[in-house]
Amino acid sequence: MQFFGRLAADYEAMFGVTLESLKGKRVLDCPSGPSSFVAQACAAGVDAVGVDPLYEHGANELRQRCMDDIAYTVKSMATYEGAYSDLDLQAYADNKRAALELFLPDYEADRAGVRYINASLPTLPFADGEFDHTFSAHLLVTYSDPASGGILPNSPFTLEWHIAAVIDLMRVTRGSLHLYPTTTRTNPARRHPYIEEIVRRIETKNLRSHHERNSNADNMGVWKCRFEPSTYQRGDASQNYLNASLVIERQHHSH
Ligand SMILES: C[S@@+](CC[C@H](N)C(=O)[O-])C[C@H]1O[C@@H](n2cnc3c(N)ncnc32)[C@H](O)[C@@H]1O
């Protein structure tokens, strides 16, 4: 699992949102990693919080881990003949390093641990409906098993793990939950089967997990799914028509 992250501008492209539109909102980024989303969003007046299990470590350790992971990943992408042909790998690495340099000072400044929380899916330490919007990029789908279209051999992130993770992300979200990517890392790309199953279960009100704490589907409320076109470059331009985030939106009924 790679510990590197992207810039706020990349989040805007992935999810089709602007920091401006999130101003004054309470927003969760999970996983946040060494992405600069939280730092840049907070600077723009967003009440943003990031979650990652590696936040148990100090800034120096995270810097080293991130630099190593960027170098390793770019090297393996350069030798991979698959879906990355449209990517400028130098720009890809520069982008991750730029995000790290914005992340680290903000991470170090957060001594009270209110913006960067050490926790992991599928069990988040937040109240029900605490966030107006939740963003989750490059963990779900991406790190599923290659047999399902992800990149992590022997992945612990099974379909049931994905279902439990989405249920807890929905639980802490009052407005909308946004997931990216939604396609496989195959050439050609397809809609990821776990995304199709998540949508199917939400639409048939059948979203239950083996995770006991979350097993009461009746308390979940009413949600709608839609795909939002994304302009984020994944390196597989031939599949751009499938490039989208999944928006899972809570339906608020007026009385
Ligand atoms: C590639 S980064 C994505 C960062 C950012 N969202 C982005 O798109 O740039 C994936 C992150 O997932 C974190 N992670 C791994 N297992 C996790 C879990 N169970 N719950 C939450 N985050 C996890 C890793 O530590 C890593 O920082």
Residue 209: what pLDDT?
Answer: 64
- The total number of residues shown for the chain amounts to 255
pLDDT digits (tens, 9 = 90+) for 21-39: 999 999 999 999 999 999 9
Residue 204 CA to ligand 1 centre (angstroms): 29
- pLDDT at position 208, please? 75
Q: How confident is the model at residue 156 (pLDDT cuts 50, 70, 90)?
A: very high
* pLDDT single digits (tens) 162-196: 999 999 999 999 999 999 999 998 888 899 999 99
- Ligand 1 centroid to Cα of residue 253, in Å, is 34
CA of 220 to the centre of ligand 1 (A): 25
Domain ranges of the chain: 8-250
Atom index in ligand 1 nearest the CA of residue 52 equals 22
Q: Give the ligand 1 atom nearest the CA of 6.
A: 9
The number of the ligand 1 atom at minimal distance from the alpha carbon of 2 is 1
Which amino acid type is present at position 38?
V
Spacing, Cα 255 to ligand 1 middle (Å): 39
Per CATH, is 8-250 categorized as 3.40.50.720?
no
Return the pLDDT at 240. Answer: 78
Which pLDDT does position 21 carry in this prediction? 98
- Residues with beta carbon inside 6 Å of ligand 1? 1-6, 30-33, 35, 52-54, 120-121, 137-139
pLDDT in tens, 107-132: 999 988 999 999 999 999 999 999 99
**Which atom of ligand 1 lies closest to the CA of 96?**
9
> Whole-model pTM above 0.85?
yes
